[in-house]
Amino acid sequence: MDISFLGGPAPQRGVGVVAPFDFALDRELWRWVPDEVSLHMTRTPFVPVEVSLDLARLVSEHETLGEAVRTLNAIAPEVVAYACTSGSFVGGVTGERAMCEAMTWAGAVPSVTTSGALLDALAELGVRRVALVTPYTVSVTRALEEYVAEAGVTVTGCAFMGLTRHIWKVPYRDVADMARRAVPRAGAADALFISCTNLPTYDVIPQLEAELRIPVISANQVTMWAALRRLGTRAVGPYQALTDPSARTGPVVPGPAGPAVADMPGVGDGPDTEQQQEGWT
C-alpha cells in the first residue's frame, strides 16, 4: 500500500530534559507538552545517596550537567531544561544562574532549571507571598525557603513530608492534605508551590486552585512552562492559572470532568510509611 501521500511525519521541535537518575515521572512532563513538541530525556549517573542536600549537590555538579547536555547535542534540541528542584536551588540564586550558564555552554542552546522557572512563574503571576509544599526532609525544605526568600519572595507557610525515597509513589490525597496545611485559611498566601519534580501533581493542580482560590504551581509544571516559553509556545494544562491566563481572574472553577481529589487514580496507595516524618511551619 502506497502511503507516500501522507507526507509525514510532521516536523517536531525538541526540548532536551536532564533529570536526576531517580526521576520517575516522564509521562507527567509530557502531559504539559503540545503535540508539535518532543521531549528528549536523559539522566544523571546513579549515586547511592537518598534524597538530601548531599544528593542535590551531587546531581547538579557542572561537570555532571555538562555531560548530560552533551548526550542531547546529536538530536539538536532548541532548549534544555534541568528538571530537578533541589538540585537547582541548593546553590542559591547565584548557583542556579551558574548552572544555566554551564548547560548553555555545553549545548549551545538556551537553558532553564526548575528553580529558576519557579522564580519566573512567581513573577509572571505577580506573587510576593508564597506557601510551600515539599516531600523533603526539614533540611532540604529549609534550603528551598532560603532560596525563595533570597529572591525577595516571602514564605508564608510550609508543609513537608520528610521523605528520602519513593517520592513518585505519593498519592494525590497526601499532596492535597499538605497543601491545606501550608495554606490554612483564605488570604494566607498569594500562591502555592508544590516542590520536587518526582512528586505527582498534574491532576491535583486545578482541584487545589478551585479549593484554595489562589494559583497553584508545581515543579514539573513550571519547568515545562519555562522551557516551552523559550520555544515561543505554551504549555497545555486543564485550567491551570500558570498555563491558562483565563484562569487567573476571579475564583477558579474546576472543569466538569475533573475528579475530586479523593477520587483520583492512585489515591490511598501511599509510599512506604517508615520514611515519613511530616511537619509544617
Rounded to an integer, the average pLDDT of 114-124 is 98
Place 280 in a pLDDT band, splitting at 50, 70 and 90: low
Rounded to an integer, the average pLDDT of 16-36 is 97
The pLDDT value recorded for residue 263 is 42
- Residue ranges of domains in the chain: 13-235
Encode pLDDT of 187-235 as tens digits. Answer: 999 999 999 999 999 999 999 999 999 999 999 999 999 999 999 999 9
CB 32 within 8 A of CB 243: yes
Assign domain 13-235 to a CATH class: alpha beta
| pTM for this entry | 0.87
Encode pLDDT of 135-161 as tens digits. Answer: 999 999 999 999 999 999 999 999 999
| C-alpha cell read off for 78 | 532548541
Backbone φ and ψ of 105, nearest 5°: -65, -40
Encode pLDDT of 163-190 as tens digits. Answer: 999 999 999 999 999 999 999 999 999 9
Burial class (CB in 10 A: 0-12, 13-18, 19+), 205: buried
Query: Rounded to an integer, what is the distance from CA 11 to the centroid of its chain?
Result: 27
